Amino acid sequence: MTAIHDRPPGRGGEPEPVDVPSRTDRFVGGLSQAIGGPLGAHAAHPPGRRRAQFWTATRVVLALTCLTLALHWVQKSPCQDAAWSDLEQFTKLCYTDVVALYGAEDLDVGAVPYLDYPVEYPVLTGAMMGLIGLPVHAYGAGRPEVNQYLWFYNLTALALFACAIAAAAMMLSLRRRRPWDVAMFALAPALFVTATVNWDLLAIALAVGGVLAWARNRPTAAGILLGLGAAAKLWPAFLLLPLLFLALRTARWEPVKRAVTAAALGWLAANVPVMVANFDNWLEFLRRNTERAVDWGTFWYVGREFEGVWRSGEPGERGPFQWLAAHADPQLNWLSYLLFGLACAGVGVLTLRAPRRPRFAALAFLVVAAFLLFAKVWSQQFVLWLLPLAVLARPRWGAFLAWQAAELGYFLAFYGKMLNVSGQPVIPEGVFVLAAALRWSAVVLLCGFVINDILRPAGDAVRRNYADDPDGGPYDGAPDAGGWAERLAPLGLGPLAGPRPEPGLPVEPRPAG
C-alpha cells in the first residue's frame, strides 16, 4: 500500500495524499534510521492544528532552493567584481561566463547584442544579457566608483535565481502528491556549483513552464513556452519529440499539432526581429556551434584521449576518434547528429513497445540525455538541463545522488584542467579524462534506470501515487490507439508482453481547457 501523509485540505476540503520518502524510498529510509527511522503512520497533525502549520513541504522545498542559491552566490563572490588575479577564478572555483562575457561581448561599452556585434547564444539569452547589461553600463558610465561587472553579475544572478525558484515552484505544482521529489532539485550539488556559470536557468524555467502547461491540458501555451525556451537554448525544442511519440501510440494528434505549431510561432516571434535587423550576427550561434572543435569532457574527447594512450607507440597513426576530432566540421557534426537521431528513434520504438504508455517526463529525459551523450560540446553547466527532467522522470535519491557525485567530481576536475592549460598543472590529464568518463557513464546508467522503469512500470515511483501520468496532459489516462499493436506486431514494434500494474491513487479529472 502506498505510504501517504495528510496535508492541508485541497479542493473540496479533502486532504490530498502526499508521498513520504522515508517510507517509500529505500535510500531515504536507510538514512532516516540516523534520526529515529521513517515517519510514523500517525505523525499527521491533528485537524485542529492544520491552519497553524506554516512549514509545509512546498515551503520547505522552496526555502531549500533559496538556501542553495544563496550558498552558490557566496561561492561565486570572489569572482563577481572581475578583479581576477593569480588565476583565482580557477583556484577558487568561481569562474562564471556572466562576468567574463560582460567585457568580451562589449556590454561594458554599451554595445547592443546582435545589432552591434554577433552573439554566440540564441536570441533570448542575448536579450537577457542586453536588458541587464545596457542599463548597468548607462548607470556606471562616468562613475568610476561603480563596478559595472559587479552590478551586472548580481542583477543577472537575481534574474537567474528567480528562474530557478519559478522552476522549483512549477515542479511542485506538477508533483502535489510528491513534493519532496523537488527537494532533489533544490539540494542538487549541480545547482549549487553551476547556477550562474551561464544563462541556462532561463531556458530551464521556460521548459518546465512548457511541461506544466502541457500537464494542464494547454498545448498551445506549452508550445509557446517550449518555442521560447528554444530561443534561449536549443534543447527545450527536443521536448516536442516525446509528444510526437505519445501521439503515435495514442493516435491523438490534435494536441501535439497545436503544440508544435505554437512552438514554431513562439520561436519565430523571438527570432525574426533579430534576423531582420542583422541576419549575419543572428547566424553566429549556428556558425559557432558548427565550427567548434571537440569540447572537453565529451564522449569524443574521452575517446580521443584513450586512443592517444593506446596508440602512443605508433607515431603517425591516428585512430577514428583522433581523426574525427581533427575533422569536427563537418564529419563529426554529421556523425553526432546521426547518433542523436538513432537514439531518438530508439526512444520512439521504446514508446511503442513499452507494456504501458511511458510517461512524458521519462521520454523527455532520455531525449535530452541522448543529445548530451553524443554532442561534441558538453559545458559544465549543461547538467542543469537534465536536473528538472531527472526529478520528474525518476525521483529515486540513491541513483540521483550517485549521478550528482559524478557531476561534482567532473566540476572539480574541470577546474584542475583549467589550471593545467593556464600553466599551473595540478592534476594529471588522466584524472580529468576519468572524471569525464565517469560523468558520461553516470548519465548512461541513469538512462538505464529510466528505461527499466518504462519496461517495468510497476516499479515507477511516480505511478505509485498517480493513476497514470501527472505530466501527460491530453495523454494522461489515454488508451492506446485501436488496432495499432496488431498492425505493428509483424514489424517487431508491438508492445512487449507484461502485466499492467495496479492503478495508483485516484486522480481528479482535469479540465479540458
Q: Within 10 Å of residue 332's Cβ, how many Cβ atoms?
A: 19
- Among left, alpha and beta (phi > 0; psi -120 to 50; other), residue 86 is left
Q: Cα–Cα distances in Å, from 341 out to 162, 325, 363, 374?
A: 34, 20, 14, 10
CA atoms within 13 A on the CB side of 44: 20
Q: Which residues pair with 117 in a beta bridge?
A: 113
Greatest Cα-to-Cα distance within the chain, rounded to the nearest angstrom: 80
pLDDT value of residue 46:
45
Length of the chain in residues, anyone?
513
User: Could you give the number of structural domains in the chain?
Assistant: 1
Given a contact cutoff of 8 angstroms between Cβ atoms, the answer to whether 207 and 239 are in contact is yes
Contact yes or no for 311/318 (Cβ under 8 A): yes
The pLDDT of residue 374:
97
d(CA 131, CA 107): 10
Q: Is residue 25 domain-resident?
A: no
Q: Whole-angstrom Cα distance, residue 475 to residue 481?
A: 11
91 lies in some domain = yes
| Residue 153 domain-assigned (yes or no) | yes
Q: DSSP secondary structure string, 272-321?
A: HHHHHH-HHHHTHHHHHHHH--PPTTSHHHHHHHHHHHHTTTSTT---HH
Q: What is the DSSP string of 37-99?
A: SSPPTT-SPPGGGGGG----HHHHHHHHHHHHHHHHHHHHGGGTT----TTHHHHTT---HHH
Domain contains 5: no
Assigned domain for 19 exists: no
Is residue 471 within 8 A of residue 242, CB to CB? The reply is no
What type of residue sits at position 80?
Q
10-residue mean pLDDT profile of the chain (513 residues): values are: 40 57 57 50 50 80 98 97 93 96 93 94 97 96 92 98 98 96 97 98 98 98 98 97 97 97 98 97 94 93 84 62 88 96 98 96 98 96 98 96 97 96 93 97 98 96 94 94 61 56 41 38
Indicate whether 498 belongs to any domain. Answer: no
Q: Of 195, 421, 436, give the one whose Cα is nearest residue 296.
A: 436
Structure confidence at residue 503 (pLDDT): 42
Domain contains 17: no
Domain range enclosing 321: 53-491
Phi, psi of 15 (to 5 degrees): -65, 135
Q: Establish if 103 belongs to a structural domain.
A: yes
Q: Are 294 and 300 in contact (CB under 8 A)?
A: yes
Q: Any residues with CB less than 8 A from the CB of 260 and at least 6 apart, and which? A: 223, 240, 243, 244
